[in-house]
Structure 1
Amino acid sequence: MIRAVLCCLCCFLLEGVFGVETDEIEVPVMEGDSFTLRAGLTEIQRDDEVEWRFGSSRTRIIRIAAGNVTRYDDEKFRERLKLERQTGDLTITNVSNEHNGVYQLSIIIKNKKTIKRFAVTVYATLPTPVIFIDPSQCSERSRIVLCTVLNVEYQDKNTYRCVLNNPISNQTKQLDISGLCQTRSDCHICFDTTEAVIRLVVTALMGVAAVAAAVLLINDIRRAGRTHTIKQRRT
Structure 2
Amino acid sequence: MPKKIFDMIIFFCLCLWSLSGVFGVDEVKSVSVMEGESVTLNSGETETQTADLIMWSFGQNNSLIAKINRQNNKREFPNERFRDRLELDQTGSLTVTNTRTTDSGLYTVRSTRSVTLRNTFNLTVYAPLPVPVISSKSLQNSSSSSCSLVCSVVNVSHVTLSWYKGNSVFSSMSVSDLRSLSDLSLHLECLDDSFSCVVNNPISNQTLHLNNTQLCQPCSEASIHCCGFTEAVIRLALSALVGVATVGVLVYDIRSRSLQQKKREQTSPSN
TM-score by structure 2 length? 0.55
Residue 165 of structure 2 is aligned with which of 146, 154, 172?
154
C-alpha spacing 1:158/1:183, structure 2 compared with 1 (3 Å): same
**Cα distance 1:183–1:130, how it changes in 2: closer, same or farther (>3 A)?**
closer
Identity %: 37
User: Is residue 104–residue 115 contact of structure 1 (8 Å, CA) maintained in 2?
Assistant: yes
From 91, 100, 123, the counterpart of 1:96: 100
- Whether 2:200 is the aligned partner of 1:165: answer yes
Gapped runs of 5+ residues in structure 2?
1-9, 141-145, 154-160, 168-191, 223-271
1:110-166 deviation line (CA, Å, top 9, x unaligned)? x544111111122222110011122459xxxx7522100463222395311111111
**In structure 2, what is the equivalent of residue 220 of structure 1?**
none
Counterpart AA for 1:35: V
- 1:179 CA displacement: 5.4
TM-score by length of 1: 0.62
Query: Which residue in 2 is equivalent to 1:121?
Result: 124
Cα 1:18–1:145 shift into 2, 3 Å: closer
Query: Residues of 2 paired with 1:178 and 1:17: CA distance?
Result: 63
Specify the code of the residue in structure 1 equivalent to 2:84. E
Q: What displacement does 1:59 show?
A: 1.5
Give the drift of 1:15: 6.2
Q: CA deviation at 1:73?
A: 2.5
Letter of the 1:170 partner, please give it: N
Q: C-alpha root-mean-square deviation of aligned residues, in Å?
A: 3.4
**Long gaps (5+) in structure 1:** 1-5, 188-235
> 1:15–1:112: 8 Å Cα contact kept in structure 2?
no
Q: Which structure has the larger Rg?
A: 2
Once residues 132 and 207 of structure 2 are traced to their aligned partners in structure 1, the CA distance between those partners, rounded to angstroms, is 7
Report the Cα distance in structure 1 between the residues aligned to 2:21 and 2:138, rounded to whole angstroms: 71
Work out whether residues 50 and 64 of structure 1, in 8 Å CA contact, stay in contact via their aligned partners in 2.
yes
C-alpha deviations, 1:70-107, integer Å up to 9, x for none? 3133222111111111x221110111132121111002
Q: What is the distance in 1 between the residues matched to 2:55 and 2:48?
A: 12
Kindly indicate whether structure 1 or structure 2 has the higher relative contact order, using CA contacts under 8 Å at least 6 residues apart: 1
Superposition deviation, residue 108 in structure 1: 2.7
Cα contact 2:147–2:219 (8 A) shared by 1: no
Aligned to 2:209: 174
